[in-house]
Amino acid sequence: MDLLRLCATLALVILAWGTPATAEKLDAEIAFEQSQAAIGNQTAAHVLRDHRGRDLPLEQFRGKPLVVSLVYTSCASVCPLVTDHLRSAVLESRDVLGAQSFDILTFGFDASGDRPGQLAGFAGTHKLLEIDGWQIASAEEAVTEALLSDLGFSFRAAAGGYAHVTQTTILDSEGKVYRQVYGQSFPLPMLFEPLKELVLGRTTRSFAADALWDRLTFLCTVYDPLTGAYRFDYAIVFGMFFGALSLILMGWVILRLWLERRRAQKERLTVRGRKVV
């Protein structure tokens, strides 16, 4: 938790350096506490506005995990970098979890500046809408304030922009806040691991082939720091297979010995019975 707190604090400080605050300063410690306290929050049925000016109900994303990226489109420094990094991380994660495994929402929190035209321009620059399941939206001030409260996101006006934590929020399939990811170039596992937990599940009680395969994928997908990507580790599969095979063989040997011992006991009892007669 201390490392997570440090990352969140640094993420805020880096942005604040580039935009000296002209209003109330954003306290990094308080912002972090509010962000973490939001974990478990149920997001309300907010209705957003997409890049075409059409209503985009947040409930539309129920049924899958949702990655929410919080930016403002007039940002010329951190937000574009965060978005490009997130795009790469999303593609890497979907290579393993599946193209339809989770959705992404880029939300413009500048209610007065993030209008449909600005959203469309931002999405086009970063090629967001080319990725299936990625939406970009904003909302009126009251809805924006309520949504950001649900997500535990804090920001303050600053000269030429806003000071805010570079926060990406992961919602579960029911719309509850599951995990917060901080920083403009976070390590891939920070995004992938919680998504893997949500998409594949930590446990399964089903014996269906697809459920068992999901469980196997969950156990055997590992991060390779040399390539910066995830891969399916067949060595784990082979280890599990030969381990199970060894247990089966050991069980078979024990069973054979037990059966032979019972047979020998019965034979001795039979011989004794004949002698008595």
pLDDT of residue 36: 95
Residue 78, domain member (yes or no)? yes
Write out residues in the chain with pLDDT < 50, as ranges.
Answer: 6, 9-10, 13-23, 203-213, 216, 218, 236-237
Residue 9, domain member (yes or no)? yes
The residue with tokens 């000296």 is: 20
Contact 123, 106 (CB under 8 A): yes
Domain of 199, CATH number, reads: 3.40.30.10
pLDDT of residue 243: 61
Q: Which CA distances in Å does 274 have to 18, 136, 230?
A: 100, 90, 70
Residue 254, domain member (yes or no)? no
pLDDT of residue 145: 97
Tokens of 209: 């082939």
Residue 135, domain member (yes or no)? yes
Report the alpha-carbon distance of residue 270 to residue 277 in Å, rounded.
11
How many other C-beta atoms can be found within 10 angstroms of the C-beta atom of residue 176? 15
Residue 10, domain member (yes or no)? yes
Residue 266, domain member (yes or no)? no
Tokens of 89: 């991380």
Residue 275, domain member (yes or no)? no
pLDDT of residue 83: 97
Classify strands 177-182 and 155-158 as parallel, antiparallel or unpaired: unpaired
Total domains, the chain: 1
Domain containing 55 equals 2-208
pLDDT of residue 195: 94
Cβ-based burial of 229 (10 A; exposed 0-12, middle 13-18, buried ≥19): middle
Residue 152, domain member (yes or no)? yes
pLDDT of residue 16: 43
